[in-house]
Amino acid sequence: MNQEMEFKNIVAQYSRVAPEEMNNEMKFREDLGFSSLDFMSFLGELEDTFDLELDESEVLNITTLGEALNLLEELQ
């Protein structure tokens, strides 16, 4: 499984949108229905799954899947 699909599978755990229906322009809150708690839990799961540490100041500006994927790629 590639990194993007693994990422979308994690997103799908917090959303009613299937991974194959997701696109990079989708917003976590508006399109995927994430609450603040969902987003924080999601970030923790990303850190565990991809073995990285996210900087809180960077992740607070992320609103779309594409932005999150770009940050993930930068940190890998």
pTM above 0.95, yes or no: no
pLDDT given for residue 76 in this prediction = 80
The confidence score (pLDDT) of residue 4 equals 92
Confidence (pLDDT) at 1: 67
Asked if 45 and 31 touch (Cβ cutoff 8 Å), the reply is no
- What pLDDT, on the 0 to 100 scale, is given for residue 44? 93
Report how far residue 67's alpha carbon sits from residue 23's, in angstroms, rounded to the nearest whole number.
11
pLDDT of the residue at 19: 96
Q: Which pLDDT belongs to residue 58?
A: 84
pLDDT in tens, 16-59: 999 999 999 999 999 999 999 999 999 999 999 999 999 888 88
